[in-house]
A = this chain, B = another copy of it.
Amino acid sequence: MDMLWNGWGDPAKAAPLPDSVTGLLRDLLGVTPRSTPALGLEDIRLPAPTVGPAALKALAAAVGGEEHVRTDAESRIRHTRGKSTPDLLRIREGDVADVPQAVVLPAGHDEVLAVLRACAAHGLAVVPFGGGTSVVGGLAPQRSAFVALDLRRMNGLLDLDPVSRTAVLQPGLRAPEAEALLAGHGFTLGHFPQSFEWATIGGFAAARSSGQASAGYGRFDEMVLGLTLATPEGTIETGRAPRSAAGPDLRQLILGSEGAFGVITSVTVRIRPLPETRLYEGWRFGSFEEGVTALRRLAQDGPRPTVLRLSDETETLIGLAQPDAIGAGSAPGDAGCLAITGYEGTAEDTAHRRERAAAVLTDCGGTPAGAEPGERWAHGRYSAPYLRDALLDVGAFAETLETAAFWSRVPGLYTAVRTALTDTLTRAGTPPLVMCHISHVYENGASLYFTVVSAQGEDPVAHWTPAKHAANEAVLAAGGTISHHHGVGTDHRDWYVREAGPLGVSALRAVKRRLDPEGLLNPGVLLPTD
């Protein structure tokens, strides 16, 4: 099944907003219904592909037949950009400026190498395409003559070592498929980002994804033990041991490279036994500050829950901590801040961690809210992007952004980003609701994930761009990183360059020039073009 071309996910899961929410949006934010009807896929006008027959023939030869090279309009539109809100707004208006010339589907590492050779021979850039879920412009290169390298045919479990607890996965495996394959052997990867239903193993690696259970299972980049990278100059294979002192860690150079250094063609990951028990529950805190202190104590001194999240007052009030409950009338209206704690593992281990964590949370001023908020969060954990579609449909604007910092900087970063977003959008005439949660904790710091909802106004992308830029400036000024788990893409690139510094970026460009001397790979994504 394909993802909805102009929205998120499985069209069958779309759900309109309840009237109560529509009313709230109107009263609170001045949201008014869209005046222009949405375009259908068949209404989109595409420029004819500029890729010639010789190039198409070479691509077909690289991937074992012309059936694996697609130039039809639907395929091209479905590989245009990713799933940020500006991406959706643009495609809904028929803006296909970033459309690929063709979609190429290789079946394995050698075919990827062959595609790269064919593209080099015909002057085509290459955008690796997994689930297509980038929200940072990672699929919109700064070259119009490019092909989308769709990895969906590379979706196998290549090896599983139950003793070492490692598995070798192909990059085009979607997360649910990967979990199903591993579950057949009694294992789980434990990577459950909000994009879980659609995103792929290769994409997780390329963009340093982090899942909702990162407190227990770690970030995706912490799960990766080895990678194979296909580049225009050949192959890099990494990972002979879990840890090594043999030079710089090449895995960590490939992780986060966002397709700019090569195409990830296999990923060796650590796997864990399927948990006997999964248990999620809610806790209430009087303030975000109090809750942050509680999360920090658990992250630093333990015990570490598997899932650990905290919504700020606004997010708690609106009920976005449990997207499925919005408008249901039960969650909204609660005061204070809701935290979700989750425990997965053996029955003994989860019981022990839960008991000790409860003591810490209570000591930090928390009040147990029982299993219901936890179960509701778990039920709605992948719902937020569907909710966004519904919001866009009724004329609201909704977007998210995220960052991370050391603990002592978290309060200042929280205030700085909220203020930047609120001030900019208010000045533009679309005062927003800004909500925030912490969803990833470390001994030394945490992530902050912001959700912004406002009226769309005259031109929602034009309204949003300065607000997003102001938020990026606030992130850098307050000592945060420009992305905790969405990546750099093209949207964050200019701020990333400032974060990494000119010499650091220059070192990465030297790597890119060595691996991709003609600059074919995702030009302008991650690193500026020459």
Residues of A that sit less than 8 Å from B by CB: 161, 163-166, 207-210, 219, 221, 225, 231, 233-238, 240-258, 270, 272-273, 296, 300-302, 346, 349, 352, 403-409, 440, 442-445, 479-488, 492, 496, 499-504, 506-511, 513-515, 526
Is the CB–CB distance between B442 and A246 below 8 Å? no
Q: Which residue of B lies closest to A405 (CB)?
A: B241
20 inter-chain pairs at a CB distance below 8 angstroms, sorted by A residue, are A165-B407, A237-B504, A240-B479, A240-B480, A241-B481, A242-B443, A244-B484, A245-B481, A245-B488, A246-B482, A246-B483, A247-B256, A248-B253, A248-B254, A248-B256, A250-B507, A251-B252, A252-B253, A270-B443, A507-B515
A139 to chain B minimum Cβ distance, whole angstroms, is: 16
Q: Please report the C-alpha to C-alpha distance between residue A185 and residue B514 in the assembled complex, in whole angstroms.
A: 46
Question: Which of B492, B502, B515 meets A246, CB within 8 Å?
Answer: B492
User: Closest 9 interchain pairs by CB?
Assistant: A252-B252, A208-B245, A164-B406, A510-B514, A244-B481, A242-B442, A241-B404, A241-B481, A249-B252
A486 — which chain B residues lie within 8 A by C-beta?
Answer: 245
Q: Which residue of B lies closest to A247 (CB)?
A: B256
A235 to chain B minimum Cβ distance, whole angstroms, is: 7
Q: Please report the C-alpha to C-alpha distance between residue A256 and residue B244 in the assembled complex, in whole angstroms.
A: 9
A164 to chain B minimum Cβ distance, whole angstroms, is: 4
Q: Please report the C-alpha to C-alpha distance between residue A488 and residue B165 in the assembled complex, in whole angstroms.
A: 28
Q: Which of A166, A296, A507 has the most CB of B within 10 A?
A: A507
Is the CB–CB distance between B249 and A500 below 8 Å? no
A483/B252 contact (C-beta < 8 A), A225-B444, A236-B507, A503-B236 known: no
A408 — which chain B residues lie within 8 A by C-beta?
Answer: 161, 163-164
Q: Please report the C-alpha to C-alpha distance between residue A258 and residue B246 in the assembled complex, in whole angstroms.
A: 10
Q: Which residue of B lies closest to A402 (CB)?
A: B245
A404/B242 contact (C-beta < 8 A), A247-B256, A444-B270, A503-B231 known: yes
Q: Please report the C-alpha to C-alpha distance between residue A256 and residue B243 in the assembled complex, in whole angstroms.
A: 12
A513 — which chain B residues lie within 8 A by C-beta?
Answer: 510
